[in-house]
A = this chain, B = another copy of it.
Amino acid sequence: MKNVYDNSDFFGEYQSMRTKEVNANNLIEIPIMKELLPDLTDKTILDLGCGEGGMSKYFITKGAKHVTAIDISKNMIKEAKKLNPSPKIDYLVLEMEKIDTLKKKYDIVFSSLAFHYVKDFYKLISDIYKLLKKDGLLIYSQESPINTCPVITDEKQKNKIEIDGKTYHLLSDYCNEGAREVFWNGISVTKYHRSYATIVNTLTQNKFKILDIKDSYASKKAIELCPKYVGQKDKPYFTFVRAKNVIKSAKYDR
């Protein structure tokens, strides 16, 4: 995973985007993530790609016992400690590729919009399984596979075209998985496209029991604030997964 958040130009752009009230994170992604959470009372939680720690802090306000919150970016962890501090949260600079170095087991592993930056999805899911207690939950969001598929090599390349009031999408390479160089906030970012089938197969191969998969939808309120979000019904931005550890892993049982 490339750490673009410690590029100072990018980080400034990112911060100004995320702090706007009307954006897809605040109006679509976070409300759905909150709906997917169980009762958090006394739960221990690992937050992968915690960013500025908004969700980590939210878990504590909802009764969680402890949160380990990791992010690849020093900038992010610094901001998180400043904006969302708590004696019950440990903020750590750590890549998701290295969570196999963590020593505890958790009730919940949570991740918001970070997994599409990880190249080796199989290892990530395998590591998470080992970090969960029996009956522990993985709850994560990612960009929808329908969104991540097109290979767009040029910043100006359109990924959709409007004709006669209908939107035609560049849906190329859906079954051709792998790296996608996309332009975001002025710099090139590498995301990894994986199909719904691969998400399901990777979870089941790693013994996860899938509880549900959801695509994003926009509430009436969100559409009032940002009318283009009506398009979520055509092409969802995000996909959400809940899966459960059903077999105790002997190796990591501690």
Contacts and interface: CB of A to CB of B under 8 A. Distances in A.
**Secondary structure type dominating chain A contacts:** mixed
Contact of A172 (B161, B166, B170, B214): B166
B175 A232 contact: yes
Interface string A173-189: 11110000000000000
Q: How many A residues touch the partner, as a band?
A: 35 or more
A206 interface: no
Given A161-B163, A210-B210, A171 B234 contact: yes
Contact of A171 (B201, B217, B235): B235
Interface in A3-53: none
A172 B166 CA distance: 8
Interface string A129-160: 00000000000000000100000000000001
Interface of A: 146, 160-161, 163, 166-176, 195-197, 200-201, 204, 209-217, 232-236, 239
Which 7 interchain pairs have the tightest Cβ spacing?
Answer: A168-B168, A196-B196, A197-B213, A169-B171, A176-B233, A172-B234, A175-B233
